[in-house]
Structure 1
Amino acid sequence: MKATLDEMQVFIAVVDCGSISAAAERLEQTVSATSRTLARLEEKLGTTLLRRTTRRLSLTEEGRDYLARVRDIISSVQASEEMLAIRRSKPAGLLRVDAATPFMLHVIAPLVAGYRRQYPEVELELNSNEGIIDLLERRTDVAIRIGELKDSTLHAKAIGQSQVRILASPDYLAKAGTPRQVSELAGHPLLGFSQPEHLNDWPLLDARGQRLHVRPAIRASSGETVRQLALNGGGICCLSDFMTANDRKAGRLVSLFDTQTLSQRQSINAVYYRNTAVSARISSFIAYLAGAIGERGFD
């Protein structure tokens, strides 16, 4: 008796999720049903695919070989389904998108409903990572990257730009005073990034006429954390318009050094590995993002 696609997908889900219970939740099945399906697959194959302990699951050597093959099989099936959808001019299937938390919260999440109305057959999986990820390792179809691109193995599509500004909350400025000269920043708590360090280069010139590099009193790995610190009166920050435009419009944050701030527009790119099996999903999502950003901008 041959293995079915459903059994293969259960096996993949268990491996990806790390446990039978987590896989059952993703597949919307009971734990017992998922366990039985996995056992049935191993019985059909006459081999053990996963070693089970009380704490974890691990692949056997046979399981690793089989996993690679079934991933290819499932990918081929999805590609066939996608090609049919392309012929109907309707992108379909699962699209995995990765972006840093601030961009996901302030740009992508508000646009999802509109995208889904236009492309209802596309399923979205949205993941947030603050650093650069390996798209293949994380099984990501398209990632949004802000700033200079360094990975030449990726295809990139520019979808917009966003100005960087110096900001603080009105409450903070009312208590601590508004700095007028760049040198006065030394008397204020500055909010910055733990990594990468270049994000602590602010678009201002110091007394020597060089780009200002700050030593933050509080460092965070995510721009959203920096934003929340600034909103709560924690100090002065430097953030991009895509996450702070609404705050400025509502008066929750105000910009400083407007006449002294250098023009620094961060490029926003959608990056992906070229793959005809997912090109319809990728192209529809990128085009939708680019159109929405182009229409409203972040100023």
Structure 2
Amino acid sequence: MKTSLDELQTLIAVVDSGAISRAAEALGQTVSATSRTLGRLEQKLQTTLLRRTTRRLELTEEGDAFLRNARQIVAAVEAAEEQMAARRQRPAGRLRVDAATPFMLHVIAPRVAAYRARHPEVALELHSSEGFIDLLERRTDVAFRIGALKDSTLHATPLGSSRLRVLASPAYLEAHGRPRRVTDLADHVLLGFSQPESLNDWPLLDADWLPLHIAPDVRSSSGETLRALALQGTGIVCLSDFMTREDRETGRLVELFVSQALELCQPINAVYYRNTAVSSRIQSFVEYLREDLARQPGW
């Protein structure tokens, strides 16, 4: 009895998710059906692919070797489907996207419905990572990166740039006063990033006429967490326009040092490998975002 594509996809889903229950949810199946499919595959191969314990699943040596071939087979099928869809000039198949949480929430998520209305055959899989990731290791097709790029092996498509502003909530300013000079910041609570340290460069000049580098009183790896802290009146923050535009328009956050601030912008790029087999899906998604963002004020 020959192995089916469904069985290969089930094995990959179980390994990638780390649990049969999560794999079943991703595949739209019941846990029992997923477990039976995995058992049927092991029976056909007459070997154990996964060791099951109460806490985790672990690949056997045979399972690890089989999984590598399974991934290649599934990727080849996806590539063949992509080529057929390209002939019809309609991108199709799964597109795995990664971005920092703020960019995912404020830029990508609000545009998913409109993109899928245009390209209904593309199945989006959205992941959020606060730092740079290895696209191959995470099996990611395209990632959106904010700031200077370092990996020259990746193809980059610029989406534009977003200005940085120093902000605080009206509640914080009422309680602590409004800083008028850059030196006044020494008497205030500053919110900043735990990594990378370059994100703590604010668009203000220090005493040596260099961009101000702050030592945060409260740190986080997530810009969305810092935004939430600022909205709650915890302190002063420096964030990108793409995630604070509505906050500024509604008055939830107030820009500080308007006349003193430098016009410092963060470049935003879509990055992916040049030899990817899903280029038409990537191109359709990146171009849609770029076209729509170009119509936004201040982008």
Q: Under TM normalisation by the shorter chain, which class is it? A: over 0.9
Offset at residue 155 of structure 1 (A): 0.5
Partner of 1:261, secondary structure, is coil
Corresponding residue of 1:128: 128
CA contact (8 A) 2:141 2:276 kept: no
Corresponding residue of 1:208: 208
- Alignment of 1:6 with 2:6, yes or no, is yes
Corresponding residue of 1:151: 151
Distance between the aligned counterparts of 2:60 and 2:292, measured in 1? 47
Distance between the aligned counterparts of 2:119 and 2:298, measured in 1? 25
Structure 2 residues without counterparts, runs of 5 or longer: none
Distance between the aligned counterparts of 1:175 and 1:50, measured in 2? 58
Q: Which amino acid aligns with 2:64?
A: R
Corresponding residue of 1:233: 233
Distance between the aligned counterparts of 2:233 and 2:127, measured in 1? 29
Q: Which amino acid aligns with 1:271?
A: V
CA contact (8 A) 1:245 1:298 kept: no
Distance between the aligned counterparts of 2:245 and 2:258, measured in 1? 15
Structure 1 residues without counterparts, runs of 5 or longer: none
Offset at residue 211 of structure 1 (A): 2.0
Question: 1:148-297 alignment to 2 at 5 Å?
Answer: 148-297=148-297
Partner of 1:2, secondary structure, is coil
Corresponding residue of 1:72: 72
Superimposed CA distance per residue, residues 205-260 of structure 1 (whole angstroms, 9 cap, x where no aligned partner): 11222221111111111111111111111111111101011111111111111111
Partner of 1:89, secondary structure, is coil
CA contact (8 A) 1:192 1:238 kept: yes
The range that moved more, 168-177 or 58-67, is: 168-177
TM-score, normalised with respect to structure 2: 0.97
The range that moved more, 234-243 or 28-37, is: 28-37
Distance between the aligned counterparts of 1:31 and 1:180, measured in 2? 60
Corresponding residue of 1:23: 23
Partner of 2:136, secondary structure, is coil
Distance between the aligned counterparts of 1:21 and 1:252, measured in 2? 41
Corresponding residue of 1:138: 138
Offset at residue 298 of structure 1 (A): 3.9
CA contact (8 A) 2:145 2:268 kept: yes
Q: Which amino acid aligns with 1:161?
A: S
Distance between the aligned counterparts of 1:182 and 1:86, measured in 2? 55
Partner of 1:258, secondary structure, is coil
**Number of residue pairs aligned between Structure 1 and Structure 2:** 299
Offset at residue 68 of structure 1 (A): 0.6
Distance between the aligned counterparts of 1:221 and 1:249, measured in 2? 26
Offset at residue 200 of structure 1 (A): 1.0
Distance between the aligned counterparts of 1:56 and 1:3, measured in 2? 25
Distance between the aligned counterparts of 2:172 and 2:19, measured in 1? 47
Corresponding residue of 1:116: 116
Superimposed CA distance per residue, residues 38-86 of structure 1 (whole angstroms, 9 cap, x where no aligned partner): 1111111121111122222111111111101011111111111111111
CA contact (8 A) 1:91 1:280 kept: yes
Offset at residue 283 of structure 1 (A): 0.2
Distance between the aligned counterparts of 1:55 and 1:146, measured in 2? 37
Corresponding residue of 1:41: 41
CA contact (8 A) 1:194 1:221 kept: yes
Distance between the aligned counterparts of 1:141 and 1:285, measured in 2? 11
Q: Which amino acid aligns with 2:285?
A: F
Corresponding residue of 2:92: 92
Identity %: 66
Distance between the aligned counterparts of 1:255 and 1:54, measured in 2? 52
Partner of 1:296, secondary structure, is coil
TM-score, normalised with respect to structure 1: 0.97
The range that moved more, 153-162 or 195-204, is: 195-204
Offset at residue 276 of structure 1 (A): 4.8
Distance between the aligned counterparts of 1:35 and 1:165, measured in 2? 51
CA contact (8 A) 2:142 2:282 kept: yes
Decide whether aligned partners of structure 1 residues 65 and 202 sit closer, same or farther in structure 2, where only a CA change above 3 A counts: same
Distance between the aligned counterparts of 1:53 and 1:169, measured in 2? 50
Corresponding residue of 1:102: 102
Distance between the aligned counterparts of 1:54 and 1:147, measured in 2? 42
Distance between the aligned counterparts of 1:94 and 1:51, measured in 2? 29
Q: Which amino acid aligns with 1:82?
A: E
Distance between the aligned counterparts of 1:171 and 1:162, measured in 2? 26
